[in-house]
Chain A
Amino acid sequence: MSRPLDFKLYVITGENYHPGRSMAEVMEAALRGGADIVQLRDKESPKRELIEKAKRLKELTAKYGVPLIVNDHPDVALAADADGVHLGQDDLPIEAARELLGPRRIIGISTHRIEQARAAERAGADYIGVGPVYPTGTKPGRQAVTTAYVAQAAAEIRIPFVAIGGITESNAEEVLRAGARRLCAVSAIVGYADPESVCRNLLEKINAWSLGEQAVVPASLPISVAQTLPERRDVREIALTVNGRSERTQAATLLELAAQYKLEGRSVVADLDGAVVPRQLWGETPLQGGCSVEFVHFVGGG
């Protein structure tokens, strides 16, 4: 790989989700909406047909400067000059795929638990899929791994990981909160009348969380990088616990901290060191080093 792979919104084809509309039409809408990596998944078509589909998609994704990944078949990826392949746990081992595809093509693999993620990282995968986070029609019968596995991957895995499985606009926040910074969706994007705006909305959420993080200087940031950041010596930075995770922040009040997590306008209850803080008082509630904050999303059902 000439440049390190990164992406935010991974979209997978699912022709059965959009009868009456062509794959090209639907995928182009997703690309317009900002999808920055595309996978051709088609378990039905014979290989010859698959290669044709891959070639057509490759033309489209190239127009948008977005990599095309082929599900399951390294040979199809090569034949269509796709950018990479995505493997399942029961497919070709990563090492074997790497031999076929060479060092420059992308290899991703689905993982369902942390051991598989570690193994994939060791074997030289360029990214992993983490899921299914929620039960999904695309993989019926597969046990959902929940956001707990997302959090595990976020804490441990260094290669890009993308959360997948039942992710929609309405639960994306939850997945991001668990630590995902790349999301993948199939039916929630291609199954909708307007994939473009679904993509836009999902990207907006992803960006909000990524930006929230950039505002916090990670403690582990190498010195060389830290020096390129604007001078902030006069700004106080404290260590605190936010929803059970150790964080550092320059936020002086609960309100500023909530803003960093993009919680304005959301139904969230804030708890500081064992007591709930009314919303109006967030702005006048200072944060002390070592404090513990929990933001709890208000549960709406009944």
Chain B
Amino acid sequence: MRKEAEEQERYSRQIRFAPIGAQGQRRLGEASVLVVGAGALGASLAQHMVRAGVGRLRLVDRDYVELSNLHRQTLYDEEDAAEALPKAVAAAAKLRRVSDRARIEAFVADVDRRNAESLAADVDLVLDGTDNTATRLLLSDVCFGRGIPLVYGGVAGSEGMTALLVPGEHCCLRCLLGADEPGGDGAPTCDTLGVISPAVEMVAALQAAEALKALTGNRSALRGTWLTVDAWHFAVKEWKLPPPVEACPNCGWGESAAAASRELAKHEGFVHAEDDLSGEDHGDTADEDLSGDEPESEAEDALSGDDSEAETENTLSSDDSEAEKLVVLCGRDTFQLMLKPSVSLGEWRRRLAEAGCAITADNRYLLRASTVEGERIVIFAEGRALIQGAGEAERALDIYRHYLSDETRRRADEPSVGF
């Protein structure tokens, strides 16, 4: 009873907002959302969702906090940067202090074909806080396959754009951009244009507003438009979103679209388990969820433990081209690659120190080292590495070969021969 009163008090101003009301607030409490990326957009989106009172927030990010993030990534502070905490971890810690109402699941991982399905498996809505076109197209495929609304958002310079894409109602992102887009081909990013914080917050606010409408059952209030905004030369434009493209395997009249319309028919406000909404028991279930720390979701199973390692190795062994492994990350001079084989952080620490690197950060999630030449190597516990400050891909590959490849280890293990 006391809990209920607290709940009432906590969300009183939001409940007083007529379109949400008590029922909308309850729906938010039942809702599960996935926020992909915990950079500028993602961290802001996660905060909006947790403060608004969503029942479960799943947050996944592949990066760690750096000083250059702080001008726009409002959830992080200097301490996070000094500790080089993974963004997902730092965000989860902050968000748990903001509210103990939400169950927060944080994953340090790069979203790819192997884990995207399980990450989105049991959520009502996906919020896009990614920094690249390829991941966005992947999210679109997964969301349209599963009938989950996707709130796209992107920002660069002082400009941003956003749209809530509803499977069965709108066409998918792939249809909007062209099915065979390689992704990231010249689409402006924070890397090329820089970015200012107000532009990020405008887009995140618009994304969050659509998410709140969707999650509280205010479907008729959804904009249904593709919106662009410029925070500097103030301008807002919007265009109506097109319906599904019949021929498209993702948003067209195939399997997925049928699944999507089934979903929609079932949940007026996109929130699953609507049957439970009226049930008194549901509050208890939610409480149990909050207290339970055991991995329940498919996503946690897929991302933790031995399974994921085995999967990682499988994928890597089929991927022989070094160049293909390199991915350029947004906002900084950063390359990403997967290491083989999986080695513990402690072992990496030993190897890099032996190779003459200075260890500049060392926590349970990652290891950061500075090469003799001054570039930075970051290794995450899951076997993913970032190479920063290399300038060109060629140099990044050199660093990989010199410090991170199997050859390095063999050389290091060989008895040294005097010259």
Task: State whether A170 touches B131 (Cβ < 8 A).
Answer: no
Distance in angstroms between the alpha carbons of A280 and B189 in the assembled complex: 25
Neighbouring B residues of A168 by C-beta, 8 Å: 192
Residue from A193, A281, A297, A299 whose CB has the most chain B CB atoms within 10 Å: A299
**Size of B's binding interface in residues, CB under 8 A:** 51
Chain A: which residue is nearest B247 at the CB level?
A: A280
Task: State whether B186 touches A170 (Cβ < 8 A).
Answer: yes
Instruction: Find B156's partner among A148, A276, A301 (CB 8 Å cutoff).
Output: A301
Residue from A274, A278, A302 whose CB has the most chain B CB atoms within 10 Å: A302
Type the 1/0 row for A284-302, where 1 means its CB is closer than 8 Å to any CB of B: 0000000000101111111
Tell me the B343-380 residues at the A interface (CB within 8 Å).
none
Q: Is A267 an interface residue (CB 8 A)?
A: yes
Chain A: minimal CB distance from B71 (Å): 14
Chain A: minimal CB distance from B356 (Å): 25
Q: A266-B185, A278-B171, A279-B176 are in contact. Are A302 and B242 (CB under 8 A)?
A: no
Instruction: Find A302's partner among B177, B193, B330 (CB 8 Å cutoff).
Output: B330
Type the 1/0 row for A45-88, where 1 means its CB is closer than 8 Å to any CB of B: 00000000000000000000000000000000000000000000
Task: State whether A271 touches B226 (Cβ < 8 A).
Answer: yes
Task: State whether B177 touches A279 (Cβ < 8 A).
Answer: yes
Q: A300-B188, A300-B330 are in contact. Are A275 and B239 (CB under 8 A)?
A: yes
Tell me the A241-295 residues at the B interface (CB within 8 Å).
265-269, 271, 274-281, 294
Task: State whether B226 touches A300 (Cβ < 8 A).
Answer: no
Q: A280-B248, A301-B195 are in contact. Are A267 and B177 (CB under 8 A)?
A: yes
Task: State whether A275 touches B187 (Cβ < 8 A).
Answer: no
Binding stretch for chain A, among B6-14, B38-46, B210-218, B258-266: B38-46
Distance in angstroms between the alpha carbons of A294 and B228 in the assembled complex: 11
Q: Is B241 an interface residue (CB 8 A)?
A: yes
Instruction: Find A299's partner among B37, B129, B161, B242 (CB 8 Å cutoff).
Output: B161
Task: State whether A301 touches B240 (Cβ < 8 A).
Answer: no
Neighbouring B residues of A277 by C-beta, 8 Å: 242
Distance in angstroms between the alpha carbons of A170 and B188 in the assembled complex: 8
Task: State whether A279 touches B189 (Cβ < 8 A).
Answer: no
Q: Is A171 an interface residue (CB 8 A)?
A: yes
Q: Is B190 an interface residue (CB 8 A)?
A: yes
Chain A: which residue is nearest B170 at the CB level?
A: A276
Q: Is A42 an interface residue (CB 8 A)?
A: no
Chain B: which residue is nearest A173 at the CB level?
A: B186
Task: State whether B181 touches A299 (Cβ < 8 A).
Answer: no
Distance in angstroms between the alpha carbons of A41 and B37 in the assembled complex: 44
Task: State whether A301 touches B133 (Cβ < 8 A).
Answer: no
Distance in angstroms between the alpha carbons of A299 and B177 in the assembled complex: 11
Chain A: minimal CB distance from B352 (Å): 28
Instruction: Find B154's partner among A265, A266, A281, A302 (CB 8 Å cutoff).
Output: A302
Q: A300-B154, A300-B187 are in contact. Are A276 and B176 (CB under 8 A)?
A: yes
Neighbouring B residues of A6 by C-beta, 8 Å: none
Distance in angstroms between the alpha carbons of A168 and B194 in the assembled complex: 14
Distance in angstroms between the alpha carbons of A301 and B242 in the assembled complex: 24
Q: Is B179 an interface residue (CB 8 A)?
A: yes
Task: State whether A274 touches B156 (Cβ < 8 A).
Answer: no
Q: Is B80 an interface residue (CB 8 A)?
A: no
Type the 1/0 row for B173-187, where 1 means its CB is closer than 8 Å to any CB of A: 001111101011111
Q: A300-B184, A302-B37 are in contact. Are A278 and B245 (CB under 8 A)?
A: yes
Instruction: Find B186's partner among A148, A267, A271 (CB 8 Å cutoff).
Output: A267
Distance in angstroms between the alpha carbons of A289 and B378 in the assembled complex: 56
Chain B: minimal CB distance from A118 (Å): 22
Task: State whether A148 touches B245 (Cβ < 8 A).
Answer: no
Instruction: Find B185's partner among A265, A274, A275, A278 (CB 8 Å cutoff).
Output: A265
Chain A: which residue is nearest B159 at the CB level?
A: A299
Q: Is A174 an interface residue (CB 8 A)?
A: yes
Chain A: which residue is nearest B184 at the CB level?
A: A300
Distance in angstroms between the alpha carbons of A267 and B155 in the assembled complex: 14
Neighbouring A residues of B141 by C-beta, 8 Å: none
Distance in angstroms between the alpha carbons of A273 and B185 in the assembled complex: 26
Distance in angstroms between the alpha carbons of A227 and B115 in the assembled complex: 62
Task: State whether B175 touches A279 (Cβ < 8 A).
Answer: yes
Task: State whether B154 touches A274 (Cβ < 8 A).
Answer: no
Chain B: which residue is nearest A298 at the CB level?
A: B187
Chain A: minimal CB distance from B418 (Å): 33
Task: State whether A299 touches B154 (Cβ < 8 A).
Answer: yes
Chain B: minimal CB distance from A191 (Å): 11
Chain A: which residue is nearest B131 at the CB level?
A: A302
Distance in angstroms between the alpha carbons of A267 and B240 in the assembled complex: 19
Instruction: Find A300's partner among B40, B175, B189, B237 (CB 8 Å cutoff).
Output: B189
Distance in angstroms between the alpha carbons of A281 and B185 in the assembled complex: 21
Chain A: which residue is nearest B238 at the CB level?
A: A274
Instruction: Find A298's partner among B40, B133, B195, B248 (CB 8 Å cutoff).
Output: B133
Instruction: Find B241's partner among A193, A276, A280 (CB 8 Å cutoff).
Output: A276
Chain B: minimal CB distance from A272 (Å): 8
Task: State whether B133 touches A267 (Cβ < 8 A).
Answer: yes
Task: State whether B188 touches A279 (Cβ < 8 A).
Answer: no
Q: A299-B159, A301-B331, A302-B131 are in contact. Are A174 and B41 (CB under 8 A)?
A: no
Distance in angstroms between the alpha carbons of A281 and B248 in the assembled complex: 11
Distance in angstroms between the alpha carbons of A71 and B97 in the assembled complex: 59
Distance in angstroms between the alpha carbons of A290 and B375 in the assembled complex: 55
Task: State whether A299 touches B155 (Cβ < 8 A).
Answer: yes
Tell me the A145-162 residues at the B interface (CB within 8 Å).
146, 148
Known pairs A281-B245, A296-B161, A299-B161; list 9 more (Cβ under 8 Å).
A265-B181, A271-B226, A280-B245, A298-B154, A299-B188, A300-B133, A301-B188, A301-B330, A302-B190
What are 27 A-B pairs at a CB distance below 8 A?
Answer: A171-B193, A267-B184, A267-B187, A268-B177, A271-B226, A275-B239, A280-B245, A280-B247, A281-B242, A281-B245, A294-B237, A296-B161, A297-B188, A298-B154, A298-B187, A299-B154, A299-B161, A300-B156, A300-B187, A301-B131, A301-B188, A301-B195, A302-B42, A302-B130, A302-B131, A302-B132, A302-B190
Please report B residues at the A interface, Cβ cutoff 8 Å.
37, 39-42, 128-133, 153-156, 159-161, 171, 175-179, 181, 183-193, 195, 226, 228, 233, 237, 239-242, 245, 247-248, 330-331, 392
Please report A residues at the B interface, Cβ cutoff 8 Å.
146, 148, 168, 170-171, 173-174, 193, 265-269, 271, 274-281, 294, 296-302
8 residue pairs, one from A and one from B, having the closest CB atoms: A300-B187, A299-B154, A279-B178, A301-B190, A302-B131, A301-B156, A271-B239, A278-B175
